[in-house]
Structure 1
Amino acid sequence: MKFRSAALATTALLMSTASFAGVVTSSTNIEFLAIDGKKPATSLLKSTNSFNVNDSQMHQVVVRVSEIIRAGSDRELFESAPIIISFQGSQEDVVISAPRIEDERDAKNFKKNPTISVKTVSGREIATKQDTLAQEGFLPGVNLVNTLSDYNTSGAAASVSSLATTAVPAAVAGFATKANKGKVIVQGENVAEQQLQYWFQQADKETQARFLDWAKKLK
């Protein structure tokens, strides 16, 4: 009897401290750019469209909304700025969705108010904090993880401090192999400067000379 009571007590304790995972999916017009501070695994054929969340943990995703919209008599691609969404995990499966964007007016309205819905499959609204992720440089997508890490240290609206890391600037990390060979050395106060240095060192002597002549004329 005592053994049975002890077993029940142990089970209850484990249940009280256990965490449960739900699966997050998205509407077809959403792409996950980052999940909990990291880029999702992708291939040439498909990107990550689902991941697990823990109900005892704060999660953060960066998404982009993409739609082919009507522009007069033509069609064109609309892509939103990266949108940060922070939310508490759930035991239930979760769906992250964006409204349909069909024309230029829809696109304009979404740019003004880029709100993303986060709900459980049973329809319960999950509280979120949302913000847009400002990016800079020639290749902003390359630097997204580092930009997000900086954002998470800033205390901004949708930041999650536990996901902040001390990462090497992407402009350096992305070309580390060449730098190690002594061909490219990138140093700079900001991303734009780092990328300018990289592309300058990639150019041939004639192109470098033309660039320097152009830069002198701007003084």
Structure 2
Amino acid sequence: MKKTLLAFALPLVLTSQVAMAEVTLKMPGNFEILAAQHLEIKKATKTVALPEGDQLVLVRFDSPTNPHSTGQSMGYVSSQPILIRFSANDGEVVELLAPRVDTQQDVKRFAKNPSFELTDTAGKSVSFDSEKVVVSGSPLMANYNDILAAQIAPSEIQTLPQPAVITASSQSVSTVDINQLTPAQADQLMKDLYQDANKKRRKEFIRWALGL
């Protein structure tokens, strides 16, 4: 009987210990997590739980063009993905803090060159490295887990790699469920696809849109 109880209890204890060995990474309202080294992220999110230790994470600034608009009719402004590298201990909450942006001009300016800091549970600064990863093509079609994976091998050489240009179309792309997109995101996707199309396809699209 004791052996049976031990067989049940031991996996529970080990599971509990593994569950405790987590680092929580949190974003403010105008930032999002795109991908993480130790976790497959299917959709951009604001908070993730990661195993303790060294971290490689892709984040980006993502804000309504008018930060005070409730309708968000003017769409969104996003930065290029930013690769950040930091270390955190078991149980820590690491939070990204960014300056406040209040105007449309501030949003566009900040998206070109985002700045931020990381803090731990006690509010102390967390040391980190960061670099911009330039991705061409539609942001909605990019597979950020694959893009991060392409950065991990070089990053194992003690220093972060030099900024790289990655073409989203050359990566594996994720399937986009149109029904899950907001009207603003659907409009942005249509614009991105139109801008990426050649002249012939653009003419065909216009003829289709006009019912010709």
Q: TM-score, normalised by structure 2?
A: 0.54
Larger Rg: 1
Aligned pair in 2 of structure 1 residues 174, 68: CA closer, same or farther (>3 Å)? closer
Aligned pair in 2 of structure 1 residues 76, 101: CA closer, same or farther (>3 Å)? farther
Alignment of 1:1-219 (within 5 A): 20-36=21-37, 39-42=40-43, 48-55=45-52, 57-70=53-66, 77-91=76-90, 92-111=92-111, 113-138=113-138, 141-155=141-155, 158=160, 170-171=171-172
Residue type at the aligned position of 2:142: V
What do the CA deviations read for 1:139-181 (whole angstroms, capped 9, x no partner)? 674233323222233349646xxxxxxxxx634x758xxxxxx
CA contact (8 A) 2:24 2:50 kept: yes
CA contact (8 A) 2:23 2:88 kept: yes
Structure 1's unaligned 5+ residue stretches are: 1-17, 160-168, 176-198, 201-205, 211-219
Structure 2's unaligned 5+ residue stretches are: 1-17, 68-72, 162-169, 176-196, 205-212
What do the CA deviations read for 1:15-65 (whole angstroms, capped 9, x no partner)? xxx9843322221111111012654144xxxx533222344x211211121
1:78 offset after TM fit, Å?
A: 1.9
What SS does the corresponding residue of 2:134 show, helix, strand or coil?
Answer: coil
- Residues of 2 paired with 1:112 and 1:27: CA distance? 18
Residue type at the aligned position of 1:24: L
Number of aligned residue pairs: 147
Considering only aligned residues, what root-mean-square deviation do their CA atoms show, in Å?
A: 3.8
Aligned pair in 2 of structure 1 residues 59, 80: CA closer, same or farther (>3 Å)? same
Q: TM-score, normalised by structure 1?
A: 0.52
Aligned pair in 2 of structure 1 residues 93, 38: CA closer, same or farther (>3 Å)? closer
Percent of residue pairs identical: 19
